[in-house]
Chains A and B, each alone.
Chain A
Amino acid sequence: MIEVKNLTKRYGDNTAVSDLSFKVEAGQVYGLLGPNGAGKSTTMNIITGCLAATEGAVIIDGHDIFEEPVAAKKCIGYLPEIPPVYPDMTPREYLSFVGSAKGLKGSALKEGIESVSQITGIKDVLNRVIKNLSKGYRQRVGIAQALIGDPDIIILDEPTVGLDPAQIIEIRELIKELGKNHTVILSSHILSEVSAVCDEILIISKGKLVAGDTTENLLKIFETDPVTEIQAKGGAEEIKKALSSLEQVKDVKITDAKTDGTVTAQVTSETGGDIRENIFYAMKESGCTLLSMNIKKASLEDVFIKLTSDEISPELKEKLKLAKSNTVDAENEEKEENPDESGVC
């Protein structure tokens, strides 16, 4: 659907995006994730034809965005970071402008405005002037603008910024709904949002793609030895001793010991197998009262912080490379299986 090849964008000496390549398949929701200034918006602006790239190519549904911009842009609905609305217009006027610029006419235009305002919930404000609308409604008008004309690809730059929690949930539901028959790319630095709605995650840091995979796979790469955090009442030394004596336990760390005798400890155990039951009996035997137990899993937050920190450990790099080469191999295998298809391409 979208193919980004070796994309580079330089502003003078400053490189915003460097050698970025990825592919977006049809009918999936992609999340572009990265810290501030990572190059998310720049990448989206280039994909949608708002900016020219210094080097590289973007192919949208077979059309190069630089060579055949009009054909390529017809496939895209884009919501930039700041909703590009005209404050002096009403949403109806605004949508009718965008719709007619996308080639809708007459009753098709009217129906388009009706349906997108229904979807985004702006029906009540259609005839009010945009400058009098709240930020949340402006954002919705911006999303409605991207949806009008029913483009195959919808690109949303931080779509939930400025919305209240109820609206955020609504918009997320909307994006999930859109993902069923559209290709959606959204950028965000809110991880829970990305993990809630996206099928695939592309993590960008300093203009480079550091990881691109499904949420589960990313978490798998970062899977470490399971850590169980427990809280118990009793002597710190006593607890440590009892826990260390367990067979699968690799390491016990006392993280907190309060004066009332509540001790918090982190137990690192071998991969595979749940040791909570063993911990329970160990505590019981040592005469300590177990208050709570829970297994800590690597979260997307950890993945994100590890990937976007200044230095990625060589070990991690190796893992990522392996994951990448696996996907490349899989692609090659697919191609070999369908030689006709690759010939057409």
Chain B
Amino acid sequence: MKAVYVKELRSYFTSVGAYACFTLMFLIAGIYTWAINIQSASGSFEMTVSNMAFWMCVLPVPLLTMRIFSEERKQKTDQLLYSLPLKTTDIVFGKYFAAITVLLVPVAVISLYPVVLSFFGTVNFATCYSSIFAFYLMAAALIAMGVFISSLVENQIVAAIGTAVIIFFNYFLPYIASYASSSAVASAVFLVITGIVIGLIVFLMTKNYVVGVLTAAVIDFALVLFYFLKQDFFEGLVPGVMNSISLFDKLDVFVGGIFDLTGVIFYLSVAGVFLFLTVQSLEKRRWA
């Protein structure tokens, strides 16, 4: 794992990727700090973190993750990785840890902002740093999503757009949820569509439409069965689920001054699930 990690870190800093990401993040952080802290003479940097979180992720995260696997496939260097005595988990974790190490640089620099602000006003350091910490964990979870998407497609632009769309969608989930119908039928229909989407993803990973269709069919059949057995379970389910899978929503708990352990575990689990899926996607590729 160390070999992949070192190689990946080196490639970030010898290409434009990491620097473009840093530039963007410093620009965004600068604008928000100026608008929220300096313009209105406020020392609450946690509000800045909360407000800029979306822009700090939607562009920089795809920049970090888009080439992680797509580029390897395009240049046929994935064959090298497969033929070296490395486990697939070594490859995935090596690359992932390199990406979150790169992310540590802007986060470390931004961590200096509250210190600077404290010279001119009152800063609640505990809330500030727990927010920055939560932001880092959230971004790390989003990076895991980006890594997974990069492992699915060969074109890095497609990988970048896909990741950005998912981050965008995730950010607006609570807003969408507030408009979503909370009736049981709507929930069931939504879940059936989700089942079909999962089938589609399985198809993309396996290139086997029988498996894809089967996955969708099993999920949807189970859902319909469950719907007729226990209808009240579906009442208000979709808005509830939407709210609970929103990564950005959890961040606001930290901003509110609570160090939320469930939030930490949630972020780590999201990262874990997507890294697991990445390993599966790479393993599947060999069976193409």
Residue of A nearest to B1 (CB): A101
| B71-89 interface bits toward A, Cβ cutoff 8 Å, 1 = contact, 0 = none | 0000111111011111100
**Contact of B6 with A by CB under 8 A:** yes
Q: Do A101 and B10 have beta carbons less than 8 Å apart?
A: no
B48 to chain A, nearest CB (A): 35
Q: Do A70 and B10 have beta carbons less than 8 Å apart?
A: no
A162: chain B residues at CB < 8 Å are none
Known A-B contacts A50-B79, A98-B80, A100-B6; the reply to A89 vs B85 at CB < 8 A is no
B288: chain A residues at CB < 8 Å are 11, 51
B82: chain A residues at CB < 8 Å are 48-50
Q: Do B86 and A52 have beta carbons less than 8 Å apart?
A: no
A193 to chain B, nearest CB (A): 22
A268: chain B residues at CB < 8 Å are none
Question: Which residues of chain B have a CB within 8 Å of any CB of chain A?
Answer: 2-4, 6-7, 10-11, 14-15, 75-80, 82-87, 286-288
Q: How large is the interface on A (under 10, 10 to 19, 20 to 34, 35 or more residues)?
A: 20 to 34
Q: Do B3 and A84 have beta carbons less than 8 Å apart?
A: no
**Contact of A145 with B by CB under 8 A:** yes
| A42-82 interface bits toward B, Cβ cutoff 8 Å, 1 = contact, 0 = none | 00010011111000000000000000011101101010101
B78: chain A residues at CB < 8 Å are 84
Can you list 11 A-B pairs with a CB-CB distance of less than 8 A?
A: A49-B286, A50-B83, A69-B85, A70-B85, A78-B79, A85-B77, A88-B11, A88-B14, A89-B10, A98-B80, A101-B4
**Contact of A103 with B by CB under 8 A:** yes
B79: chain A residues at CB < 8 Å are 45, 50, 78, 80, 84
Q: Do B85 and A102 have beta carbons less than 8 Å apart?
A: yes
Cα distance, A88 to B15, chains bound together (Å): 7
Question: Which residues of chain A have a CB within 8 Å of any CB of chain B?
Answer: 11, 45, 48-52, 69-71, 73-74, 76, 78, 80, 82, 84-89, 93, 97-98, 100-103, 145
Q: Do B83 and A87 have beta carbons less than 8 Å apart?
A: no
Residue among A50, A76, A85, A100 making CB contact with B2, cutoff 8 Å: A100
Q: Do B83 and A78 have beta carbons less than 8 Å apart?
A: yes
Considering residues B4, B15, B84, B86, which has the most beta carbons from chain A within 10 angstroms of its beta carbon? B84
Q: Do B11 and A73 have beta carbons less than 8 Å apart?
A: no
Q: Do A73 and B84 have beta carbons less than 8 Å apart?
A: yes
B76: chain A residues at CB < 8 Å are 80, 82, 84
Cα distance, A98 to B11, chains bound together (Å): 14
Q: Do A101 and B3 have beta carbons less than 8 Å apart?
A: yes
B14: chain A residues at CB < 8 Å are 88-89
A79 to chain B, nearest CB (A): 9
Q: Do B83 and A48 have beta carbons less than 8 Å apart?
A: yes
B266 to chain A, nearest CB (A): 33
Q: Do B286 and A97 have beta carbons less than 8 Å apart?
A: no
Residue of B nearest to A155 (CB): B83
Q: Do A101 and B77 have beta carbons less than 8 Å apart?
A: no
Cα distance, A147 to B230, chains bound together (Å): 63
